[in-house]
Amino acid sequence: MFAVTLDGYGGPEVMRWAEVDDLPAPGPGEVTVEVVAAGVNRADIMQRQGFYPPPPGASDILGLEVSGVIAAVGAEVDGWRVGDAVCALLAGGGYAERVNVAATQVLPVPAGVSLTAAAALPEAAATVWSNIVMAGGLSEGQTLLVHGGGSGIGTHAIQVGRALGARVAVTAGSAFKLDRCRELGANTLINYRDEDFVKVVTAEYGGADVILDIMGAGYLRRNVEALAEDGDLTIIGLQDGSTAELDLGLMLFKRASVHVTNLRRRAEAGPGSKAEIIGQLREKLWPRVADGSVVPVVSAEIPIAEVAAAHPLLDSAESVGKVLLTVREPRDPVIGDSCGVA
């Protein structure tokens, strides 16, 4: 089969679409997905640069989410059959023609979503839901602050927040991205280049109940300052550093919580696992995708043979939402409903 390989670590030019060893048959509890599209994530960029090795036992091929059609079903798998249109959360291996994945990390393609666009959902949906809902407890009437509102994670978080009845404030670095965030339902738009998000969120809402942060150390103090009492800060990225001082006195005063989480290295099963997150997505979020309350936002679709052109788009001022790599045309356009298998 073909997959994206790395000629060492470095810039996008080290990636190439090349022939690799055939994929083994799916093991017990696994299915094989014939990939139609793969999502591009910042973790892929970090792995390409040599800063983010895959977890033990995971494929060293890039790619943390795909959409496609089930091509084979392993032993001990219930509820899936060959030909089902699906999307899946991976620990690696998505930049390829086929990938094996635990059946508990597979989701049906929601009604109304194309098989290609479904590749934009698993990573963003699992990240957002596990952090702002399962960890942060976001609920109706609360305020959510999302940093990087124009990213794949950001565009999804805006919609989830609004679907839950929360007020959503976002930061982004351009009027273009902020305008798109407004279209997706964001209530408060903050250009981080010339506005202080702490002052804006505090003045408008008295602070944020939940903050979803991709920046890390550089934003830590201001994020804590921006929290409301009993607020929750979840850090999912370290784009502005990994080490900073934490003002415990301010946290104590606000009864605040800080979480630093990682999706890729979570266990496959058990409390807080990928299986638990996927189960909640299927039950609680997929109906909202099917009714159009939450939709995949796709900035670009790039043929996977041109993968070197895709990674730079994540930092483009014109890119809003997910970048997808297209592997093949869908063989079967028929997909299932939002809550069950086709």
Give the closest residue to 277 by CA, choosing from 163, 107, 146: 107
* 60-98 pLDDT per residue, tens: 999 999 999 999 999 999 999 999 999 999 999 999 999
What gap in Å lies between CA 217 and CA 232, rounded to an integer? 16
What gap in Å lies between CA 45 and CA 51, rounded to an integer? 9
Decide if 103 contacts 111 (C-beta within 8 A): no
What residues does 18 pair with on adjacent strands? 3
User: What's the whole-model pTM score?
Assistant: 0.94
What gap in Å lies between CA 84 and CA 306, rounded to an integer? 28
For 80, list phi and psi in degrees, rounded to 5: -125, 145
CATH architecture assigned to 2-121+265-326: Alpha-Beta Complex (3.90)
* 91-140 pLDDT per residue, tens: 999 999 999 999 999 999 999 999 999 999 999 999 999 999 999 999 99
Give span(s): CATH 3.40.50.720, the chain: 125-260
Give span(s): CATH 3.90.180.10, the chain: 2-121+265-326
What gap in Å lies between CA 110 and CA 291, rounded to an integer? 9
The residue assigned the tokens 């959409």 is 67
CATH architecture assigned to 125-260: 3-Layer(aba) Sandwich (3.40)
